[in-house]
């Protein structure tokens, strides 16, 4: 028998099985950028599929886990997006290794946000653009939580797990996800930064600083590792340490949030030596053990304006990363945590 009678034509010999192509949308979104690039070199079909996934990733950093998509914008180089693992709110140190991103199918994790689809969205004037959203509702009678507001750089009290109300309650503003339009833009000196994609009025909740919650011991070990990696100037960690002094003034609560590997889009908010246009507040919810760190607009923010805040007190560090905030009071070095 002639061998050509049992061999596949050259055009099909190198093609992966059609079954793989049918399942590719379930497999390729789990790959890292490096793995996806290698897969794209295999054949034309996989290259086209990989390009489609890359475009979908660049169109929404939140992987559909937020009410509104948050796109990447880069006109400087060939990096269409920044790769990290997404979670909308902080949680204890996770073993999360992979996460689907770029599939045409809805991420199963989005079920946690589907119930917010009828809630309010903010228009360019800063007003609610939805009808029947319940944004003006207050907590139902008998709700055990303490309702109040401590002001920016203070403490905000919201309903929590022990309350009987849902997300439509007016006292759960920071629990509905990111409801203002944002975008992640790449700049020549700062790298990626978070920008407003609409007008954001003063006082509006913008986002939570989400990441892995670490113990102080874990935080110090990671900071030492990050200091070594960033000494070359090509690594920017996103480990934030928040200290809340207790009423007794004899102790303080230390909250260690690391968004370097796992976090949300707040990891792209850059520092400004003048304090920036965002203010921070610790949000405590009834029945929740730990507070959450949230950002609010400290002034009216215009469309296309970069969102910034102060990372904290600057400590002179000869190996510290250079600051490019451009403010009149810039000290030239980014604040760093003392380990």
Q: Where are the domains of the chain?
A: 111-309
Which residue(s) pair with 186 in the sheet?
192
For residue 150, the model assigns a pLDDT of: 41
SS3 state at 218: helix
Q: Which residue's entry shows tokens 């070199």?
A: 41
Contact of 210 with 90, CB cutoff 8 Å = yes
Which tens digits make up the pLDDT trace of 34-63?
999 999 998 999 999 999 999 999 999 999
Helices marked H in the chain — which ranges?
A: 10-13, 18-27, 33-40, 44-59, 111-114, 216-230
Contact of 145 with 169, CB cutoff 8 Å = no
Whether residue 9 is predicted with pLDDT greater than 50 in this model: the reply is no
What is the Cα–Cα distance from 176 to 120, expressed in whole angstroms?
A: 9
Indicate the pLDDT class of residue 205, thresholds 50, 70 and 90: very high
Token reading at 304: 């296309």
Q: Does residue 332 or residue 189 have the better pLDDT?
A: 189
Residues 6+ apart with CB under 8 A from 251: 245
Would you list the DSSP string of 55-90?
HHHHH-TTTT-SSS---EE-SSSS------EE-SS-
Q: Taking residues 243-257, what's their average pLDDT?
A: 78
Which tens digits make up the pLDDT trace of 69-116?
999 999 999 999 999 999 999 998 777 889 999 998 755 444 444 444
Our measurement of the distance from residue 36's CA atom to the centroid of its chain's CA atoms, rounded to an integer in Å, reads 22
SS3 state at 271: strand
Whether residue 339 is predicted with pLDDT greater than 90 in this model: the reply is no
Mean pLDDT of the chain: 81
Token reading at 316: 């002179």
Which tens digits make up the pLDDT trace of 280-327?
999 998 888 889 999 999 999 999 999 999 987 656 555 667 888 888
What is the Cα–Cα distance from 252 to 136, expressed in whole angstroms?
A: 35
Neighbour count for residue 61 (Cβ, 10 Å): 27
Q: For the chain, what is the largest distance between any 2 Cα atoms, rounded to a whole number of angstroms?
A: 92
Would you list the DSSP string of 142-180?
T--SPPEE--TTSEEEE--TTSS--TTSTT-GGGS---S
Q: Does residue 334 or residue 277 have the better pLDDT?
A: 277
Q: Taking residues 177-189, what's their average pLDDT?
A: 96
Q: What is the pTM of this model?
A: 0.82
Whether residue 164 is predicted with pLDDT greater than 60 in this model: the reply is yes
Lowest mean pLDDT among 112-121, 201-210, 219-228: 112-121
Q: Taking residues 139-157, what's their average pLDDT?
A: 56
Q: Is the dihedral angle over the CA atoms 257, 219, 237, 260 positive or is it negative?
A: negative
Which long-range contacts does 156-159 make (Cβ < 8 Å, 24+ apart)? 156/281, 156/282, 156/283, 156/284, 156/294, 157/283, 157/284, 157/285, 157/286, 158/283, 158/284, 158/285, 158/286, 159/285, 159/286
> How many CA atoms lie less than 13 Å away from 210 in the CB half-sphere?
23
Lowest mean pLDDT among 6-10, 20-24, 127-131: 6-10
What is the Cα–Cα distance from 240 to 238, expressed in whole angstroms?
A: 6
For residue 203, the model assigns a pLDDT of: 95
Indicate the pLDDT class of residue 146, thresholds 50, 70 and 90: very low
In CATH, what class is 111-309?
mainly beta
Whether residue 147 is predicted with pLDDT greater than 60 in this model: the reply is no
What is the Cα–Cα distance from 71 to 267, expressed in whole angstroms?
A: 14
Contact of 299 with 196, CB cutoff 8 Å = no
What is the Cα–Cα distance from 201 to 59, expressed in whole angstroms?
A: 25
For residue 112, the model assigns a pLDDT of: 44
């Amino acid at each position: 028998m002639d061998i050509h009678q049992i061999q596949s034509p050259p055009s099909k010999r190198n093609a992966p099985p059609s079954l793989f192509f049918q399942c590719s949308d379930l497999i390729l979104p789990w790959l890292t950028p490096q793995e996806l690039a290698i897969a794209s070199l295999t054949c034309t079909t996989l290259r086209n599929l990989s390009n489609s996934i890359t475009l979908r990733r660049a169109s929404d950093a939140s992987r559909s886990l937020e009410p509104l998509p948050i796109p990447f914008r880069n006109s400087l180089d060939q990096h269409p997006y920044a790769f990290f693992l997404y979670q909308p709110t902080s949680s204890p140190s996770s073993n999360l290794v992979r996460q689907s991103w770029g599939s045409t199918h809805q991420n199963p994790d989005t079920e946690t946000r589907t119930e917010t689809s009828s809630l309010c969205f903010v228009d360019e004037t800063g007003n609610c653009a939805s009808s029947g959203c319940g944004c003006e509702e207050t907590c139902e009678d008998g709700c055990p939580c303490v309702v109040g507001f401590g002001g920016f750089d203070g403490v905000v009290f919201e309903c929590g797990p022990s309350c009987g109300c849902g997300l439509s309650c007016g006292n759960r503003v920071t629990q509905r996800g990111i409801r203002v339009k944002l975008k992640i833009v790449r700049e020549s000196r700062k790298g990626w930064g978070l920008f407003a994609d609409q007008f954001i009025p003063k006082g509006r909740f913008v986002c939570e600083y989400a990441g892995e919650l670490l113990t102080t011991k874990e935080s110090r070990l990671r900071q030492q590792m990050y200091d070594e990696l960033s000494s070359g100037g090509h690594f920017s960690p996103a480990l934030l340490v928040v200290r809340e002094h207790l009423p007794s003034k004899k102790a303080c609560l230390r909250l260690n949030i690391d968004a370097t590997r796992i976090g949300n889009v707040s990891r792209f908010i850059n520092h400004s030596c003048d304090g920036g246009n965002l203010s921070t507040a610790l949000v405590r919810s009834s029945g929740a053990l730990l507070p959450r760190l949230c950002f609010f607009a400290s002034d009216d923010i215009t469309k296309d304006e970069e969102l910034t805040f102060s990372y904290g007190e600057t400590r002179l560090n000869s190996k510290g990363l250079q600051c490019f905030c451009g403010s009149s009071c810039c000290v030239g070095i980014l604040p760093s945590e003392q380990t």
